[in-house]
Amino acid sequence: MWDLIQKSGPLDENSMYCNIVQCDHFADTCVIAELDGEIVGWISAFIPPDAPDTLFVWQVAVGEAARGRGVAKKMLMELLERPVCVDVKQLKTTITSDNETSWALFNSFADSMDAELEHEPHYEEDAHFGGKHATEYMVTISEVDRQAADDASPPSASSDKGTTDAN
Protein backbone atom coordinates (compact mmCIF):
# COMPACT_ATOMS: atom_id res chain seq x y z
CA MET A 1 0.00 0.00 0.00
CA TRP A 2 2.82 2.40 0.85
CA ASP A 3 4.46 1.60 -2.52
CA LEU A 4 1.15 2.32 -4.29
CA ILE A 5 0.92 5.72 -2.61
CA GLN A 6 4.51 6.55 -3.59
CA LYS A 7 3.68 5.83 -7.24
CA SER A 8 0.34 7.63 -7.23
CA GLY A 9 1.31 11.31 -7.28
CA PRO A 10 0.23 13.97 -6.60
CA LEU A 11 -0.52 12.39 -3.21
CA ASP A 12 1.34 13.58 -0.16
CA GLU A 13 3.86 10.93 0.74
CA ASN A 14 3.29 10.08 4.38
CA SER A 15 5.79 7.95 6.22
CA MET A 16 5.40 4.18 6.16
CA TYR A 17 4.76 4.46 9.90
CA CYS A 18 1.84 6.84 9.29
CA ASN A 19 0.28 4.37 6.85
CA ILE A 20 0.73 1.49 9.30
CA VAL A 21 -0.97 3.54 12.03
CA GLN A 22 -3.83 4.28 9.62
CA CYS A 23 -4.25 0.56 8.90
CA ASP A 24 -4.10 -0.28 12.59
CA HIS A 25 -6.19 2.45 14.19
CA PHE A 26 -8.56 3.23 11.32
CA ALA A 27 -8.95 -0.27 9.83
CA ASP A 28 -12.74 -0.02 9.80
CA THR A 29 -12.61 3.09 7.61
CA CYS A 30 -9.75 2.20 5.30
CA VAL A 31 -10.01 -0.05 2.27
CA ILE A 32 -7.76 -1.63 -0.31
CA ALA A 33 -8.58 -3.03 -3.74
CA GLU A 34 -6.71 -5.96 -5.19
CA LEU A 35 -6.26 -7.17 -8.75
CA ASP A 36 -4.56 -10.51 -9.34
CA GLY A 37 -3.16 -10.46 -5.80
CA GLU A 38 -1.68 -6.97 -6.15
CA ILE A 39 -2.87 -3.95 -4.18
CA VAL A 40 -4.15 -1.50 -6.80
CA GLY A 41 -6.31 0.80 -4.67
CA TRP A 42 -6.24 2.40 -1.23
CA ILE A 43 -8.46 4.77 0.69
CA SER A 44 -7.67 6.00 4.17
CA ALA A 45 -10.52 7.64 6.00
CA PHE A 46 -11.81 8.19 9.52
CA ILE A 47 -14.85 9.38 11.42
CA PRO A 48 -13.88 12.47 13.41
CA PRO A 49 -14.70 12.07 17.12
CA ASP A 50 -16.60 15.37 17.14
CA ALA A 51 -18.57 14.55 13.94
CA PRO A 52 -19.94 10.99 14.07
CA ASP A 53 -22.10 11.71 11.01
CA THR A 54 -19.04 12.46 8.84
CA LEU A 55 -16.59 10.25 7.00
CA PHE A 56 -13.41 12.21 6.29
CA VAL A 57 -11.50 10.75 3.34
CA TRP A 58 -7.83 11.38 3.92
CA GLN A 59 -6.25 9.78 0.87
CA VAL A 60 -7.27 7.93 -2.30
CA ALA A 61 -4.79 6.07 -4.49
CA VAL A 62 -5.43 3.90 -7.55
CA GLY A 63 -2.58 2.22 -9.39
CA GLU A 64 -2.16 2.38 -13.15
CA ALA A 65 -3.34 -1.22 -13.66
CA ALA A 66 -6.75 -0.37 -12.18
CA ARG A 67 -7.36 3.15 -13.50
CA GLY A 68 -10.50 3.71 -15.54
CA ARG A 69 -12.35 0.83 -13.87
CA GLY A 70 -14.24 2.83 -11.24
CA VAL A 71 -12.14 1.35 -8.44
CA ALA A 72 -12.02 4.53 -6.33
CA LYS A 73 -15.79 4.94 -6.48
CA LYS A 74 -16.29 1.25 -5.59
CA MET A 75 -14.01 1.68 -2.58
CA LEU A 76 -15.98 4.75 -1.41
CA MET A 77 -19.23 2.80 -1.76
CA GLU A 78 -17.68 -0.10 0.16
CA LEU A 79 -16.78 2.22 3.02
CA LEU A 80 -20.29 3.65 3.28
CA GLU A 81 -21.79 0.15 3.38
CA ARG A 82 -19.79 -0.81 6.47
CA PRO A 83 -21.50 -0.97 9.88
CA VAL A 84 -19.09 1.63 11.28
CA CYS A 85 -20.55 4.16 8.80
CA VAL A 86 -24.22 3.51 9.62
CA ASP A 87 -24.58 7.05 11.08
CA VAL A 88 -22.59 8.77 8.32
CA LYS A 89 -24.66 11.39 6.51
CA GLN A 90 -21.86 13.30 4.81
CA LEU A 91 -18.44 12.76 3.35
CA LYS A 92 -15.62 15.30 3.54
CA THR A 93 -12.21 15.52 1.96
CA THR A 94 -9.73 18.19 0.92
CA ILE A 95 -8.57 18.69 -2.67
CA THR A 96 -6.24 21.19 -4.33
CA SER A 97 -7.74 23.13 -7.25
CA ASP A 98 -5.47 21.45 -9.82
CA ASN A 99 -6.25 17.82 -8.82
CA GLU A 100 -8.62 17.07 -11.71
CA THR A 101 -8.75 13.34 -10.96
CA SER A 102 -9.98 13.88 -7.39
CA TRP A 103 -12.53 16.51 -8.47
CA ALA A 104 -13.86 14.09 -11.10
CA LEU A 105 -14.08 11.25 -8.57
CA PHE A 106 -15.90 13.20 -5.88
CA ASN A 107 -18.24 14.96 -8.32
CA SER A 108 -19.12 11.60 -9.86
CA PHE A 109 -19.55 10.07 -6.41
CA ALA A 110 -21.87 12.91 -5.32
CA ASP A 111 -23.92 12.46 -8.49
CA SER A 112 -24.26 8.73 -7.93
CA MET A 113 -25.37 9.38 -4.35
CA ASP A 114 -27.93 12.03 -5.35
CA ALA A 115 -26.00 14.33 -3.03
CA GLU A 116 -24.82 17.91 -3.13
CA LEU A 117 -21.12 18.71 -3.38
CA GLU A 118 -19.93 21.99 -1.92
CA HIS A 119 -16.39 23.31 -1.48
CA GLU A 120 -14.57 26.22 0.08
CA PRO A 121 -10.93 27.10 0.79
CA HIS A 122 -9.91 25.43 4.03
CA TYR A 123 -6.15 24.94 4.44
CA GLU A 124 -4.77 27.99 2.68
CA GLU A 125 -1.50 28.20 0.78
CA ASP A 126 -0.04 31.13 2.72
CA ALA A 127 -1.84 30.96 6.06
CA HIS A 128 -1.37 27.23 6.65
CA PHE A 129 1.41 26.07 4.35
CA GLY A 130 3.74 29.08 4.30
CA GLY A 131 3.42 29.24 0.51
CA LYS A 132 4.85 25.70 0.11
CA HIS A 133 1.62 23.85 -0.76
CA ALA A 134 -1.45 24.79 -2.76
CA THR A 135 -4.67 25.66 -0.96
CA GLU A 136 -6.72 22.61 0.00
CA TYR A 137 -10.45 23.05 -0.54
CA MET A 138 -12.78 21.38 1.95
CA VAL A 139 -15.20 19.32 -0.11
CA THR A 140 -18.44 18.33 1.56
CA ILE A 141 -20.88 15.84 0.08
CA SER A 142 -24.05 16.19 2.12
CA GLU A 143 -27.22 14.18 2.53
CA VAL A 144 -25.73 10.95 1.24
CA ASP A 145 -28.54 8.76 -0.13
CA ARG A 146 -27.76 5.16 0.83
CA GLN A 147 -30.47 3.84 -1.48
CA ALA A 148 -28.77 5.59 -4.40
CA ALA A 149 -25.52 3.94 -3.29
CA ASP A 150 -27.19 0.53 -3.21
CA ASP A 151 -28.62 1.08 -6.68
CA ALA A 152 -25.25 2.26 -8.03
CA SER A 153 -23.13 -0.41 -6.35
CA PRO A 154 -21.94 -3.03 -8.83
CA PRO A 155 -22.56 -6.66 -7.94
CA SER A 156 -18.81 -7.44 -8.03
CA ALA A 157 -18.06 -5.17 -5.05
CA SER A 158 -16.99 -7.28 -2.09
CA SER A 159 -18.47 -6.82 1.35
CA ASP A 160 -15.32 -8.20 3.01
CA LYS A 161 -13.83 -5.70 5.41
CA GLY A 162 -10.69 -4.19 3.95
CA THR A 163 -10.84 -5.24 0.32
CA THR A 164 -12.91 -4.70 -2.76
CA ASP A 165 -12.67 -6.36 -6.14
CA ALA A 166 -10.98 -4.22 -8.79
CA ASN A 167 -12.88 -5.82 -11.70
pLDDT tens figures, 24-33? 889 999 998 9
Catalogue the E-assigned strands of the chain.
Answer: 30-35, 38-46, 54-62, 90-96, 116-123, 136-142, 163-165
Task: State how beta strands 30-35 and 163-165 pair.
Answer: parallel
Longest dimension (CA), the chain: 46
pTM, to two decimals: 0.81
pLDDT tens profile 75-123 = 999 999 999 999 999 999 999 999 898 999 999 999 999 999 999 999 8
Query: Can you list the domains of the chain with their CATH numbers?
Result: 2-165 (3.40.630.30)
